[in-house]
Structure 1
Amino acid sequence: MAVNRIVGDRAHAMATTTATMKEKEEDATSKKPFKRRSRLIVRLGSFLIVHSILFSVVCCTAGLIALILLPVLANNTYISENALLPGSANPMFSIQDVVEAKKFVRDILDTSVTEEGRRIEIPRLIEQRVVDVGAEAYYHKFIADGAQFHPLHFFSCAPSTSTMETNNSCSSFGVNSVGIIRAPRGDGKEAIVLVSPYNSENIQLSDAVSLGLAYSIFSFLSRVTWLAKDIVWLAADSQHGEYTAVSAWLKDYHTPVFFSDAGKVDFGMCSVKDIHRQWENKLFKENNPNVFKRSGTMAAALVFKVTESKERSERDRLDIYAEASNGQMPNLDLINTAHYLAVHRQGLKVVVGMVDSLLHSTCLKFVGEILQSVGKLVKILNPKWKFGITSAEFVEGTSTVARSIFNQALGVPTGPHGAFRDYQVDAITLELSPRVYLHNENAQSAFLLKSGRLIEGVLRSVNNLLEKFHQSFFLYFLTSPNKYVSVGVYMIPFALLVAPLPIVAAALFSAGKRKGDNLEDTSNEVAEAASGSDSWKWIHAAKVVFMIHLWAGVVSLLPYHISQISGMDSTARMSVWVALSVTMLLISYKIVGSPYLCSSTDGDWEILKAVTVAVASIGLCLMSIINFATAQIGSMLLVPMCLMVRPFKRRSQVALSLRFIVLAFNLAFGLLGFPPVGLMMWKGLFEGFAKVSVGDFWDQAEFLWSWNSATYPYLLWIHLACWVLCMHILMHP
C-alpha cells in the first residue's frame, strides 16, 4: 500500500509540473518579444551626437573660461623632496671667497686687453687656478656648425656640433675649460655641473664677474668636507653661442671614445694653421690637459651668469630660465629650491618672465576686477573657499603664464640649460643682476657674497639627494615665481576644447550619410547611382585629406632648399615659398583630383568636414604628447575654425542675422588660423605690431627648423593642412 501511495504522489507531481510548463510556454508565446536596452555609454553617445551643436558651444566656452582662470587656479609652490632641506645649514661662503673672486676678475680683465689674451690666456689662467686648488683640469676643443636641417630630429632638438678632428674647417673653433673636484664623501658615481658662460671674443665686465664668481665657488667647494657628489665646473666659451658650447661638451661627455688620440687638434686639416699652432704651443703643452676627463652621472646642472640690467631696482634681481627643447621642463623642486633660497635667505627679487604688453591690457584689468569681486562674494559665503585674487595678481599671473606657455610652445631652449634636458638632466639658468653698477666696488662685493651663498645653498640641497629629482612635477606652467599650474589643472581647458571634435565628426558623418540615403526615395535610377557612390564618399574624403596632408609634408621641406639660394632677403624667400606651395597644390589637384569633383550630393561637404575634424582631433592629441603648450595654443585657433566652417554658398533655414554672424566668425578664424597671420599676431602681441613684417614668418620658420622644434612640423603638417581643408569646405559648391 505504501509503495502504491509513493508512486501515485510522484505521478501527480510530474503531471503538475508538466501543466505549469505548458502554461508558461503559452504565456511566453502570447507576449511580445523582449528588447534588450542598449548600454549607457551608447545612449550617451547618441544623445551627444544629436545635440552636437549645443555640446560644442558649451565645451568651447567652458574651455576658454578655464584657460582664463588658470592664474586663479594656481597653487603655491612647495618643496616635495624632504631630503633637499634648503636653508637648513648656515652658509660658509665668506668675504675671503669674495676677495678671491675680485682678484680673479682683475686678472681676467688684465689678460683680455689683446685678442691673444682673450683666446689663449684666459683658458690657461682658468686651468692654472683649477690646478692650484687641487682639482683636475682639461680643455675641451669644439667647433660650431651652422644651422642644420634634420627632418627626422624634430623631436630631439640640438643644433649639431662637431669635435675638432671631424671637421675640415677650423675657423669657428672654441675651447671650454673644465675643472673637476672629486667628492671626499662620494664614490664618483654622481656629479653636479656648474656652468659659467663667457664670450672670449669680447670680454665684458659682467663676463669677468661671472668667471670670478664661478672660480670663488669652485675654490670654496674644494675645501669643504660635506661633498657627496663630484663638482664639475665648465667655463663655456660662448663666442659661437652659449648653447653650442655646452651642447658640444655634453655630446662628448656622453659619447664613449675608444681611440687614444681622441680630442686632439689636427692642424693639417685647419685652414688657419698659425693660430692653432699657437694654441698647441701655449695652451696644450703642460699637464696633458688635452685628455677628456669625466665624472659620474649628472644629478643636476646649474648655469649662472652675471648681467647688468638697464633698469635699476631696489634689490638685486634673479631671473630664472627653465624651458628646454619642445616644452621640456626641469623638476619643479629645483626651481623651488632656488626661489626659496633667493627670497628667504638672500633677499633677491625673483623674476620668471612676463609679457609686458599684457601688463597694460585694459581688458585683463576689467576681468581681474570682476574676479576680485567674485572672490569677495565667495569669501563671504564660505571663508574656507580660497578663490580670492586681486586684479593686479590676476594681470601679472596671466602675463607670466602667457610667457610660460609661449616659451614652451616655441620649442626652443631659453638658455644653455636646455642642452642638459636633452640628456634628461635637470638644469636651470640663473641670471643675476645687481641693483647698482658693477663698477662700484662695495656694491660688487655685497652682490658677489649674496650670489655665492645662493649657489652654495642650491648645491648643498642637491648634494643631499640620494636619487635623482622625481618627487615634484615635470609638467607645469608658472604663473609667478612661487605659483604653478600642474598638469592635472591645465589639461582641463585643452580637453574641453578638443572634446567636441569626435562628437561633431560623428554627427556630420551621420548627417551626410542620411542626405545621401534620402536620394533612394526619389526614383530607382537615382537610388542605384546613389547607392553606388554613397558607400565610397568617405573614401573620396579620406583621399582628399590624405593628399592635403601629404602636400603639407612636402611644403615643410621647401624652406631648407630655398635657404640655399644666396642674395635673397626674408621677404623674397617667403614669396618663393608661397609660390611653390600654391603651384604644387594645383599640380596635385591635376594628378589626384580636386575635392570639388564629387559634389553631386548634398552631404559630400559634411563627410569631408567630418574626416577633417577627426584628423584635426588626432593631430592635436598627438601633439599634446610631444609639446602640450603647442597643442594648447593650436586648439584655441584650430578647434573653432574646424567647428564653425561651412560652405559659403550653402543656403540655410536660419535667420539672416545668424548666418551673417557665422560667416563673420568663419572669415575671422580663417584669417587668424592661417599660420603666417597667426604667427604675426602672436609676435605683435609679445613684441609690438610696429615690428611685424611679411618676412617674419620666414625668419620664425627658419628659426624653428634650425632648432629642430616639433612646433615647425605641427604648423605645416597639421595646422596648415587643416586650414586648407577648411578653406575647401568654405568654398564648396
Structure 2
Amino acid sequence: MPKTETDTPKMKPRPIVRLGIFLISHSLLVSVVCCTAGVLALLLLPLLAKSTYISENALMPGSASSMISNRDISEANRLASDLSGLNFEPQDAAALESRGILTKYMSDLGAEVSYHKFHHKPNQFHPLHFFSSPDSTSSVKNFSCSAHGVNTVGIIRAPRGDGKEAIVLVTPYKFGKSGAAETLSLSIAYTVFSLLSRVTWLAKDIIWFVADSQYGEYAPVEAWLRDYHTPVFTGLGTLNADTCVKIDDLYVFEQKSIAQRKISDGFRRAGTMAAALIIKVADRNELLEDTLNIYAEASNGQMPNLDLINIVNYLAVHRQGLRVKVEKVLTLLDLRWLEILGEMFELLGKVARSLNPGWKFGISAADYIEGSATLASSLYYQALGIPTGPHGAFRDFQVDAITLEISPKVFPHNKARHNEFLLRGGRLVEGVIRSINNLLEKFHQSFFLYMLTSPSKFVSVGVYMIAFALLVAPLPLVAASLYADANQLDLGVKNTKSTPTATASDELDITFRSWKWLYAAKEVFLIHVWGAAVSLLPYFICQIPNCSPTSSSVIWVFLSMLSLLILYLIVGSPSTHVSISQPEEKGEWAILKSATISAVFIGLLVMSVVNFAAAEIGALLLVPMCLMAQPLKLDMKAGKLRSFLRIICNVVLGFVAFPPAAFFVVKTIFEGFDSINMGDFWNWMESLWAWNSATYIYIGMVHLPCWVLCLHILLHSC
C-alpha cells in the first residue's frame, strides 16, 4: 500500500536550530542571566588580572650595568645652570639664547642639530576632517608670528647601525619661560644623550626632540611627526623667509655663534622609529620617595605594546628603586560597597585555599579596591579616546610610546640629592634604550589590547571581552523573540479575518500588517540620520561669535529637540501608517523595539572594533535600557508590583542613559554637586571632537538615537 503524504515522517531540525529556538523562546531568562553575569564579570576583573611579564626575550632588561658617570651628571648640571641664568632676561631674548645654548651642547656631543618650525593651529570642529589630520601644507597658510614655535632636534648616528631604525627621546620645554621641572627633565635627557654619543654598542639612531611647548606638549610633537613622515622639499630657511623677524634673528644668532657648530637648514631624519619615550619631571614633590607615573593611553583607546611598559616597570622598581604608579579613580577608594565586595572576595579566596591550597582565587580587599580604581581609570581614559600625553601622537603613526613623569622627593638646596635624582632618572632611561636597542624587529610579542589594574598587573582582551560578550548576547535573542511574537499575533489576526465575509479592505489591511516591520526600520533609520545631523550641529554653533559654553549647550539642546519635533511632524511614526485595534497594540511597539535592539547590537559591535572600552561602557548603559523598555501605559494599566518596579527602572535607566545626564551624574559622584556647570558638557564634547575621538561619533550616531527610540517606546500610545 503506497504511503500518503501524511505518513511521511517530518525531519527534525538540526541541534543548532533547536538550541536557537530554545534560547529565543526563553529570551527573558537568558537576558537576566547574561546581564547579571556580564556585570559580575566586570567586578571580577581585578581578581582575574595576571602579573606582567617580558614576552620578548631579546629585550633583556637590566642585563647590563649602567654606564652613566659623574661626568654626564656634571655636564647636565652645567646645562641646567646656563639655562636657568636666562630666566631674568626678556622672554624673546631668553628663548633665543636658550635655544642657542641647547644647540651648542648638542653640537659639542657630535650630534646633527636642526630646527623644526611649526605653526600652532587651534583645534576646530570640522566634519570633513574628523578622522583625518589636517594637511601639513594647510597649516602654513594664514599664520601669524605669534602662533609659531621652533623645535630643536639632535640626532646621534648609531656606530653599529645602518640608519634604518631610531629611538626617540622627547622633552617638552618652554623656551624663554621654563620652570625648574622642565629644566630638570632636560637635564635627565641630556645625561642619557651625552652617554649615547660615546658608546659603541648603539645599533639604532637616537633622536633627541626638544619640543617647544609654549602651545602645549602635544602640538609640537604632532607637527614634527607629520613632517617626519611626509617629506617636504623645502628648507627651514625658505619657510621663514621674510615672514617673522624673530626667526630671522635666530639665524643671525646662529651665524654669529661658534664656528664648529653645524646647524642644518633642512629637515633631518633618521630611520623608522622603533619606540619613543617622553621624559617629564612633575612640578609636585613627593614626601617619601621618588615616584614614576606611566601614561600610555592614546587616541581611541590605543595602547602601546605591553612589553614597553613592562621593561620600564621592571627597571624602575628592581634597578632604580622608584615607586611606579598609574592613574586611578581616587573617589572609588572610599566607596563602602566596593570595600564590602573586596572583603567578600577575600573571604571566598580564603575558603578556596582552605579547600585546595593550589587554588589561587581571591586577593586582599585593599588590593581589590586599588585594582578596581586603576581598572576604572584605564577603562575611562581608553573609552574617552583622548591621549593622556604627547605619546599619543606617536601611536597615531603606529610607534610605541609612553610618557614617563618622574616626581622627585623634596630636595631643596640639597645638591647630593639632586645629583642622585638625575642619576636614577638617567639610568632608567638608559636601561630602557638598551633594551629597545637589542630588538631586531618592532614590538609585537606582547599585548596591544589590555587594561591595567596596577603597574605590574593587567587584564588581557581575552578576559575583559567576556563581560562585553555577555552583556550584548541577549540582544539578538530578544529581537528575534519580539519579532516572532509580533508575527504570531498577526497570524492570529489573519486567521480571524480569513472568513467568507472578509472584504477586500481587510485583505489589504493584512498585507500592510505583514510589512509593518518596514515602518519600524524606517523610523530607526530616520532617527539615526537625525543623530548624524545633531553631531554636525556644533560645526554651525561654533560659527556664532562670542558664544559661551553654556549658551552653546542650550542652543545645541534646543536645535536638537526642534529638529526631532520637525522630523516627527513631517515623517510621523509607525502608528500613523496603520490603524490598529487595542489587542494588536503590542505588535507595533514590539516590532519597533526589535528594530531598536538590532540597531543597538550592530552599533555596539562596530564600536567594539574601533574602541572596545567605549563599547563596554555603552553596553552597560544601553543594554538594560533597551531590554526593559516597554510602554508605560501598559504597566500603569496592569497595576501590579512588578509593573510598578519596571516603571521605576525604566525612568531611572532613561535618565541615566541620557548623555548629558550621565555626564553630570558622573561629575557629581567624582567632584561633588557644587562642581556642576551647564557649560561643562559642551567643553567635554568639544574636547572629544577636537581630538577626533570616535566616542563622539558613537554618542551622536548610536547612543543618542537609541535613547530616543527607547523613549518613544516608553511613551507609545500614551
In the superposition, the TM-score normalised over structure 1's length comes to 0.93
The separation in 1 between residues aligned to 2:454 and 2:525, in whole angstroms, is 43
Secondary structure of 2:238's match?
Answer: coil
How far did residue 566 of structure 1 move? Answer: 2.0
Contact kept in structure 1, 2:490 and 2:514, CA below 8 Å: no
Decide which of 549, 572, 593 is 1:609's aligned counterpart: 593
Decide which of 342, 346, 349 is 1:368's aligned counterpart: 342
| 2:65 maps to 1:81 | no
Contact kept in structure 2, 1:197 and 1:236, CA below 8 Å: yes
Aligned to 1:71: 46
Q: Give matches, 1:367-516, under 5 Å.
A: 367-437=341-411, 439-516=413-490
| 2:165 maps to 1:181 | no
The separation in 2 between residues aligned to 1:109 and 1:543, in whole angstroms, is 67
How far did residue 94 of structure 1 move? Answer: 2.0
| 2:565 maps to 1:582 | no
- Structure exhibiting the larger radius of gyration computed from Cα positions: 1
Give the direction of change, closer, same or farther, for the CA distance of 1:284–1:635 in structure 2 (3 Å limit). farther
Contact kept in structure 1, 2:41 and 2:466, CA below 8 Å: yes
The separation in 1 between residues aligned to 2:272 and 2:412, in whole angstroms, is 36
The separation in 2 between residues aligned to 1:561 and 1:62, in whole angstroms, is 44
How far did residue 682 of structure 1 move? Answer: 2.5
Give the direction of change, closer, same or farther, for the CA distance of 1:30–1:668 in structure 2 (3 Å limit). closer
Structure 1: gaps (5+ residues): 1-25
How far did residue 570 of structure 1 move? Answer: 1.2
Decide which of 88, 95, 102 is 2:77's aligned counterpart: 102
The separation in 2 between residues aligned to 1:174 and 1:391, in whole angstroms, is 50
Percentage of matched positions with identical amino acids = 53
Aligned to 2:20: 45
Q: Give matches, 1:297-308, under 5 Å.
A: 297-308=272-283
Q: Give matches, 1:512-551, under 5 Å.
A: 512-523=486-497, 524-525=502-503, 527-551=506-530
Aligned to 1:345: 319
**Matched letter for residue 147 of structure 1:** N
Aligned to 2:329: 355
Give the direction of change, closer, same or farther, for the CA distance of 1:651–1:366 in structure 2 (3 Å limit). closer
Give the direction of change, closer, same or farther, for the CA distance of 1:520–1:554 in structure 2 (3 Å limit). same
Aligned to 1:132: 108
Q: Give matches, 1:149-298, under 5 Å.
A: 149-155=125-131, 165-200=140-175, 202-257=177-232, 259-261=233-235, 264-268=238-242, 270=243, 273-283=244-254, 287-298=262-273
How far did residue 267 of structure 1 move? Answer: 4.5
Secondary structure of 2:7's match?
Answer: coil
Contact kept in structure 1, 2:635 and 2:647, CA below 8 Å: no
| 2:706 maps to 1:732 | no
In the superposition, the TM-score normalised over structure 2's length comes to 0.94
**Matched letter for residue 176 of structure 1:** N
The separation in 1 between residues aligned to 2:151 and 2:288, in whole angstroms, is 36
How far did residue 159 of structure 1 move? Answer: 7.3
| CA deviation map 1:343-386 (0-9, x unaligned) | 00001010011101001111100000000000100111111111
How far did residue 169 of structure 1 move? Answer: 2.3
The separation in 2 between residues aligned to 1:278 and 1:693, in whole angstroms, is 46
How far did residue 528 of structure 1 move? Answer: 1.8
How far did residue 27 of structure 1 move? Answer: 8.2
The separation in 2 between residues aligned to 1:557 and 1:628, in whole angstroms, is 24
Aligned to 1:640: 624
The separation in 2 between residues aligned to 1:565 and 1:439, in whole angstroms, is 53
The separation in 2 between residues aligned to 1:118 and 1:572, in whole angstroms, is 41
How far did residue 202 of structure 1 move? Answer: 2.4
Aligned to 2:654: 670
Contact kept in structure 2, 1:197 and 1:305, CA below 8 Å: yes
How far did residue 147 of structure 1 move? Answer: 1.0
**Matched letter for residue 698 of structure 1:** W
> How many residue pairs were aligned?
702
The separation in 1 between residues aligned to 2:275 and 2:211, in whole angstroms, is 17
The separation in 2 between residues aligned to 1:228 and 1:410, in whole angstroms, is 38
How far did residue 623 of structure 1 move? Answer: 0.1
Contact kept in structure 2, 1:142 and 1:162, CA below 8 Å: no
The separation in 2 between residues aligned to 1:160 and 1:480, in whole angstroms, is 39
Give the direction of change, closer, same or farther, for the CA distance of 1:438–1:615 in structure 2 (3 Å limit). farther
The separation in 2 between residues aligned to 1:236 and 1:338, in whole angstroms, is 22
Aligned to 1:571: 550
How far did residue 556 of structure 1 move? Answer: 0.5
How far did residue 427 of structure 1 move? Answer: 0.3
| 2:669 maps to 1:685 | yes
How far did residue 33 of structure 1 move? Answer: 1.1
Secondary structure of 2:692's match?
Answer: coil
Structure 2: gaps (5+ residues): none
The separation in 1 between residues aligned to 2:306 and 2:130, in whole angstroms, is 25
Aligned to 1:319: 293
Secondary structure of 1:197's match?
Answer: strand
The separation in 2 between residues aligned to 1:223 and 1:79, in whole angstroms, is 29
Secondary structure of 1:149's match?
Answer: coil
The separation in 2 between residues aligned to 1:574 and 1:163, in whole angstroms, is 30
Moved more, 598-607 or 359-368: 598-607
The separation in 1 between residues aligned to 2:536 and 2:192, in whole angstroms, is 47
Moved more, 276-285 or 385-394: 276-285
